């Protein structure tokens, strides 16, 4: 089950399409969907979580809490819509494109992908692009 929750005025227009897409990503990666909660919020909300749970006093676009066990995917993905909007402008892409990238990025972490090294980050970006093309 995938749920979409809102702690800000933002809301998705196409929840069912995105739910099917994310479910497909998980399946294609050889994993099984248990429960994923997306929580869309603002910078202040996400900053508070970043300080409280990760001891990072910085703004970020996404924080994910992964409760997956093996290939059984479950977790909470918090996304700052303010950061997504700013990042979209910085990267010269549409807001929905950046939002979808961040959404699939969190899921790919749950599926076992890392992005700490250059090689890992390149693979993660390749996977993101692959799945974004499926949504287009």
Binding residues for Zn(2+): 105, 109, 115
Q: How far apart are CA 34 and CA 73, in angstroms?
A: 5
Contact in structure between 113 and 28 (CB atoms under 8 Å): no
Q: How far apart are CA 21 and CA 72, in angstroms?
A: 17
Binding site, by residue number, is: 105, 109, 115
Contact in structure between 123 and 113 (CB atoms under 8 Å): yes
* % helix, strand, coil for the chain, step of 5: 50, 20, 25
Cβ atoms within 10 A of the Cβ of 32, count? Answer: 13
């Amino acid at each position: 089950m995938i749920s979409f929750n809102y702690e800000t005025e933002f809301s998705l227009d196409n929840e069912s399409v995105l739910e099917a897409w994310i479910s497909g990503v998980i399946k294609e990666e050889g994993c099984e969907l248990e429960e994923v909660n997306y929580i869309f919020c603002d910078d202040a909300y996400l900053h508070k979580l970043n300080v409280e749970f990760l001891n990072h006093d910085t703004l970020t676009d996404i924080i994910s809490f992964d409760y997956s066990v093996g290939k059984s995917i479950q977790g909470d993905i918090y996304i700052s819509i303010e950061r997504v909007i700013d990042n979209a402008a910085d990267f010269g892409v549409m807001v929905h494109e950046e939002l979808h990238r961040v959404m699939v990025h969190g899921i790919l972490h749950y599926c076992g992908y890392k992005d700490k090294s250059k090689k890992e980050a390149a693979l993660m970006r390749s996977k993101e692009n692959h799945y974004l093309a499926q949504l287009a």
